[in-house]
Amino acid sequence: MRINYCVHCFAEITPDIQQCPYCGVVIQEWVRSLDYETRLIHTLDHPLAAVRMRAIIALGKRRDSQAADSLVRCALRHPVDVVEGLEIVDSLRCLHPERARSKALACLAHGHPAHAVRQAAAHALTAMADEKPR
């Protein structure tokens, strides 16, 4: 049997279910009531790494800085997932405006438990400083 996840609480539900028996959300209504950016940010809480990864990449492409804090929290929630952490650093590099981006990168450069992620965030900050006009 195929398993889906509730779009709101991420409980496992069967694909035919229209209202989640755990949180009560009506799936189609929930999807319609939120914009795409908000749903992507919400997906960062998904239990499956592959689903989170798609949201991380999509958020980087959208470049909207409102995702910055949620991306940082996602990286810190999964400290052993270095691949995810590095992808989050890549997505953070794309965000505008720059202020939100550097704050988020600085947070990971100092606070992420994985050395590789701290280093990537620090490199991204250095690269940004070098790009600034003098």
Note whether 22 binds Zn ion by CB under 5 A. Answer: yes
CB nearer to Zn ion: give 15 or 97. 15
Q: Is 13 helix (H, G, I), strand (E, B) or coil?
A: strand
Note whether 8 binds Zn ion by CB under 5 A. Answer: yes
Query: Which range binds Zn ion by CB under 5 A, 21-29, 39-47, 86-94, 110-118?
Result: 21-29
CB nearer to Zn ion: give 20 or 68. 20
How far apart, in whole angstroms, are the C-alpha atoms of residue 1 and residue 52? 23
CB of 129 to Zn ion, least distance (A): 44
Note whether 7 binds Zn ion by CB under 5 A. Answer: no
Name the DSSP class of 4.
Answer: E
Phi-psi region of 47 (alpha: psi -120 to 50; beta: other; left: phi over 0): alpha
Note whether 23 binds Zn ion by CB under 5 A. Answer: yes
Note whether 20 binds Zn ion by CB under 5 A. Answer: yes
CB nearer to Zn ion: give 30 or 73. 30
Upper half-sphere CA count for residue 62 (Cβ side, 13 Å): 18
Q: Please choose, from the candidates 81, 92, 97, the residue with its C-alpha nearest in 3D space to the C-alpha of residue 125.
A: 92
Backbone angles phi, psi at 75, to 5 degrees: -60, -40
Q: Which positions touch Zn ion (CB under 5 A)?
A: 6, 8-9, 11, 20, 22-23
